[in-house]
Amino acid sequence: MTDNSATAPERVATHRTVLMCRPNHFTVSYRINPWMHPDVPTDTSLAVRQWETLYAKYLELGFDVELIDGIDGLPDMVYAANGGYVLDGVAYGAKFQYPERQPEGPAYMEWFAANGFTVAEPVSTNEGEGDFLLVGDTIYAGTGFRSDTASHDELRKLYDREVVTLKLVDPAFYHLDTAFAVLDSNGGPGSVAFLPKAFDAASLGILDERFPDAIHVNDVDAAVLGLNSFSDGKNVIIAQRATDFERQLTERGFAPHGVDLSELLLGGGGVKCCTLELRR
């Protein structure tokens, strides 16, 4: 096997500011995605301990981490990425598809307003940064299970950026950030990783054309939400069990950091789900 690490480009870390929510109220009491099984017991204290390792890793890497208080009765609020999309100091609020999560939208918008962001209330159903990911100056926007394509039009008008629609077709990968990872937010042919089978043919064509050197993950790593990761351009925080993805990242010159969020996986979320980037 060829060792690509010797010729991998020098990766540069960029400072990140993120919003997180401690999972003090985490449980699985309903089923709105294939990962959730209310009959399987969950351990809230374990979820908190695992989340704390991710929080500590971000602090170790020099990130600024803001916190929003969780609300009793909203167990999925820990998945902060779904709470909105923040770019250019403007927070586009979330409008959740399922009633169980709908109160999260106003809670996050209240936090955004209280912390100096301009809040844009959504008209269309969307689940925030779970389905909207920035690469270079382009927003890649998922649809198929949660966010309506009409929300993509709202993004175009709000941010005056190119918005590229990507259609998801596998119910296990219902948000874009479960099947598509931004490794270098500056963009480039190898700046992302994705799971090809999660997209329809047209979307896969777009990804292959724009990112010919992308990392493709295998089914095993995808099944532990290995792609639900967060990168500062050099350091990539991933699911600990995504070992082949870790190998590929290392060969490309990235520094992967594996964390165990297996308890939060029971709700259908991983590293990126717990992480909402705040771009002022």
Q: Is 37 a catalytic residue?
A: no
Contact 276/18 with Cβ under 8 angstroms? yes
Among positive and negative, which fits the CA dihedral 59, 44, 125, 114?
negative
Catalytic residue (choose from 21, 152, 273, 274) = 273
Q: Which strands form 255-259's sheet, in the order they lie side by side?
A: 230-231, 235-239, 255-259
Is 21 one of the annotated active-site residues of the chain?
no
Give Cβ neighbours of residue 172 (< 8 Å, ≥ 6 apart): 34, 35, 178, 223
How far is it, in rounded angstroms, from Cα 149 to Cα 144? 9
Distance (Å, whole) CA 89 – CA 81: 16
Hey, what are 162's tokens? 């190119």
Structure-token match 């099984």, residue found = 37
The shares of helix, strand and coil residues in the chain, as percent rounded to the nearest 5, are 35, 20, 45
| Overall residue count recorded for the chain in this entry | 280
Does residue 27 contact residue 266 with C-beta atoms inside 8 Å? no
| Integer angstrom CA distances of residue 266 from 129, 151, 278 | 20, 28, 26
CA 155/CA 11 separation, integer angstroms: 30
Task: Give me the catalytic one of 25, 152, 175, 257.
Answer: 175
* Token digits of residue 248: 């590929």
Q: Which residues are catalytic?
A: 175, 273
